[in-house]
């Protein structure tokens, strides 16, 4: 029999625990929400939204997932009007999350995730300053969460990513990062991403981010490629993995494998549309020298795409298809004239396209540029037999201009680097660097970066460090951001 004293004690305990029990409901990964998260990772946005509509609006997990869905739609559609109509949701969701349980480790993590969603979206729409502030605030939220809950694994997925980004900041901007209280390095970030892969919820995302860091910041290896293939094979219904698998492999000179991922991707109507895949397919067929096929994909992209990024790049690639097919000048110039009037200059490929178009419209092309372009495309795709066949009849003396002689040596160096003949690659890349240094040509920066990688692979740390530093000293070229990021990351690995 429960005595009055016992009942009073029970009531007292309930009253003490009740606030905690209520707050505990603020961040619940119910099975339905876990399915919604899985659907979003697969690009099944509509299915995820239908699930989310049935969940409590006060659950912080639902707020985070709704934001995730919006971010995916924004970055895949690249629609300016949609961005304008949705942008107010960032503050609404952040305020809703701030009102939830401050003692939960999820509160700061999900605020940081929302900020990073919008940073990613803002970068796509040319809002760099606002995006930067979101990244800074996300970093501070995650750093605080790490101090308060050091064993909470979800913190480390995005914190590790940010530490990699901070560690690869160009040297002349390090003081800015320090001034803003942003600290970290590539090795630290990689270790944190490895730790986050043990998390049952964010583990898959952490694995993919780790591979993307290796592809876009560090040096992507054959072992990394095998890990990526395993990841894609484990989830054949995951469109996002097929897409990122393709972009990673194409970025690293394995376009045939990229084509395999795209051809095997899920294509049912319940997946979010990814028009950019048409652009990537066009790229791959252009690299393979299949110009008619490439033209079809670029035209499909341009006929349906509503965004402003990659327009210049697509018109440039269309031009290349016609130019390399030896079509008349009257067919070529209108494409470049269109190029300079459309889109915006946010992504590096659009900046490079604009630079090429302005130069061609002003001066035309020299006789050597066409064969260099064919070799470049084939080599970039990993089709080294074709690339070597284009350049084998030539030598440096056949090219009239210093920039073309530098490019010839750079292309030959990259071909032999892809063919795992490092000593031959070194001689060509060194010559490209020597020709480029007086005028600070782009090929000098990229040659120095690749020489750093070659010597890093040879375990010659002194020479690797010297060439990474030399890559950073090239001040003005269209690939400076990506080259500097990779060179900084290479130096960080040598510490």
239-251 and 203-216 are packed helices; what angle lies between their axes, rounded to 10 degrees? 20
The answer to whether residue 416 is domain-embedded is yes
| Model pLDDT, residue 336 | 95
Q: Are residues 72 and 162 in the same domain?
A: yes
Q: What is the DSSP letter of 278?
A: H
Question: How many Å apart are CA 308 and CA 74, to the nearest integer?
Answer: 12
Question: How many Å apart are CA 124 and CA 130, to the nearest integer?
Answer: 12
Q: Are residues 205 and 215 in the same domain?
A: yes
**Contact present, 380 and 400 (Cβ < 8 Å):** no
Q: Are residues 40 and 134 in the same domain?
A: yes
Token pair for residue 429?
A: 């890349």
Token pair for residue 352?
A: 């490079």
Q: Are residues 191 and 311 in the same domain?
A: no
Percent of residues, the chain, with pLDDT higher than 70? 92
Other beta carbons less than 10 A from residue 230's beta carbon? 10
Range of the domain at 268: 227-273
The answer to whether residue 388 is domain-embedded is no
Q: Is the pLDDT of residue 463 over 60?
A: yes
Q: Are residues 407 and 483 in the same domain?
A: yes
The answer to whether residue 51 is domain-embedded is yes
The answer to whether residue 182 is domain-embedded is yes
Q: Is the pLDDT of residue 82 over 60?
A: yes
Q: Are residues 85 and 137 in the same domain?
A: yes
Q: Domain ends where: 365, 387, 411?
A: 365
Domain tally, the chain: 4
The answer to whether residue 448 is domain-embedded is yes
The answer to whether residue 310 is domain-embedded is yes
Other beta carbons less than 10 A from residue 453's beta carbon? 21
Selection from 124, 119, 115 nearest residue 95 by Cα: 115
- CATH value at residue 489: 1.25.40.10
Residues counted in the chain: 495
Q: Are residues 401 and 314 in the same domain?
A: no
| Model pLDDT, residue 212 | 92
Q: CA–CA distance from 481 to each of 250, 348, 414 (Å)?
A: 19, 9, 20
Question: How many Å apart are CA 164 and CA 158, to the nearest integer?
Answer: 10
User: What are the CB-based long-range contacts (under 8 Å, 24+) for 458-466?
Assistant: 458/422, 461/494, 464/490, 464/494, 465/491, 465/494
pLDDT in tens, 371-426: 999 999 999 999 999 999 999 999 999 998 999 999 999 999 999 998 999 999 99
What band does 23 get if pLDDT is binned at 50, 70 and 90?
A: very low
The answer to whether residue 16 is domain-embedded is no
**Contact present, 117 and 70 (Cβ < 8 Å):** yes
| CA–centroid distance for 60 within its chain | 27
Residue 3 exposure: Cα atoms within 13 Å on the Cβ side: 3
pLDDT in tens, 176-206: 555 566 777 888 999 999 999 999 999 999 9
Q: CA–CA distance from 355 to each of 165, 477, 485 (Å)?
A: 27, 11, 22
Q: Are residues 141 and 169 in the same domain?
A: yes
Question: How many Å apart are CA 309 and CA 244, to the nearest integer?
Answer: 18
**Which residue in this structure is represented by tokens 């008349």?**
328
| Model pLDDT, residue 4 | 46
**Strand spans (E) along 139-292:** none
Q: Are residues 195 and 290 in the same domain?
A: no
Number of H helices, E strands in the chain: 27, 0
Q: Domain ends where: 322, 347, 365?
A: 365
pLDDT in tens, 336-383: 999 999 998 888 889 989 999 999 999 888 888 999 999 999 999 999
Residue 317 exposure: Cα atoms within 13 Å on the Cβ side: 31
Residues ≥6 apart with Cβ < 8 Å to 158: 109, 112, 113, 116, 138, 142
The answer to whether residue 214 is domain-embedded is yes
pLDDT in tens, 119-160: 999 988 889 899 999 999 999 999 999 999 999 999 999 999
Q: Is the pLDDT of residue 6 over 80?
A: no
Q: Are residues 157 and 288 in the same domain?
A: no
Q: Are residues 246 and 285 in the same domain?
A: no
Q: What is the DSSP letter of 26?
A: G
Question: How many Å apart are CA 407 and CA 415, to the nearest integer?
Answer: 12
Q: Are residues 264 and 296 in the same domain?
A: no
Q: Is the pLDDT of residue 454 over 50?
A: yes
Other beta carbons less than 10 A from residue 316's beta carbon? 23
What band does 219 get if pLDDT is binned at 50, 70 and 90?
A: confident
Q: Domain ends where: 212, 240, 273?
A: 273
The pTM for the full model equals 0.85
């Amino acid at each position: 029999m429960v005595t009055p004293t016992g009942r009073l004690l029970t009531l007292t305990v309930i009253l003490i625990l009740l606030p905690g029990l209520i707050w505990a409901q603020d961040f619940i990964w119910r099975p339905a929400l876990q399915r919604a998260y899985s659907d979003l990772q697969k690009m099944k946005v509509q299915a995820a939204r239908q699930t989310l509509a049935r969940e409590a609006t006060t659950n912080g997990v639902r707020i985070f997932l709704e934001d995730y869905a919006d971010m995916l739609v924004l970055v895949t559609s690249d629609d300016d009007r949609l961005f304008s109509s949705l942008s107010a949701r960032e503050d609404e969701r952040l305020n809703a999350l701030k009102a939830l349980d401050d003692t939960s480790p999820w509160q700061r993590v999900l605020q940081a995730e929302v900020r990073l969603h919008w940073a990613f979206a803002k970068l796509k729409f040319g809002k760099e300053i606002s995006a930067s502030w979101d990244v800074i605030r996300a970093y501070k939220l995650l750093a605080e969460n790490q101090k308060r809950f050091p064993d909470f694994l979800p913190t480390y997925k995005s914190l590790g990513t940010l530490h990699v980004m901070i560690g690869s900041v160009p040297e002349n901007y390090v003081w800015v990062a320090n001034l803003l209280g942003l600290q970290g390095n590539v090795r630290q970030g990689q270790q944190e991403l490895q730790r986050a892969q043990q998390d049952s919820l964010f583990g898959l995302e952490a694995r993919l981010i780790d591979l993307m860091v290796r592809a876009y910041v560090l040096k992507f290896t054959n072992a990394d490629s095998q890990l990526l293939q395993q990841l894609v094979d484990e989830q054949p219904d995951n469109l996002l993995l097929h897409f990122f698998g393709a972009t990673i492999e194409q970025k690293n000179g394995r376009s045939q494998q990229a084509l395999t991922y795209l051809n095997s991707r899920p294509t049912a109507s319940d997946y979010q549309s990814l028009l950019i895949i048409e652009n990537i397919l066009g790229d791959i067929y252009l690299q393979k020298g299949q110009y008619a096929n490439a033209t079809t994909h670029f035209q499909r992209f341009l006929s349906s795409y509503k965004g402003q990024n990659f327009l210049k790049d697509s018109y440039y690639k269309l031009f290349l298809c016609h130019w390399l097919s030896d079509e008349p000048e009257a067919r070529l110039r209108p494409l470049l004239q269109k190029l300079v009037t459309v889109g915006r200059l946010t992504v590096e490929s659009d900046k490079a396209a604009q630079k090429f178009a302005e130069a061609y419209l002003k001066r035309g092309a020299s006789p050597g540029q066409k064969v260099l372009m064919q070799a470049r495309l084939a080599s970039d795709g990993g089709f080294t037999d074709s690339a070597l066949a284009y350049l084998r009849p030539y030598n440096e003396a056949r090219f009239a201009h210093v920039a073309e002689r530098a490019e010839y040596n750079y292309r030959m160096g990259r071909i032999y680097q892809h063919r795992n003949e490092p000593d031959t690659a070194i001689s060509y890349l060194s010559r490209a660097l020597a020709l480029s240094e007086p005028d600070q040509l782009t090929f000098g920066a990229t040659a120095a970066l690749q020489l750093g990688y070659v010597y890093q692979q040879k375990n010659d740390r002194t020479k690797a460090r010297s060439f990474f530093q030399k890559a950073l000293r090239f001040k003005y070229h269209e690939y400076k951001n990506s080259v500097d990021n990779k060179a900084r990351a290479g130096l960080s690995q040598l510490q």
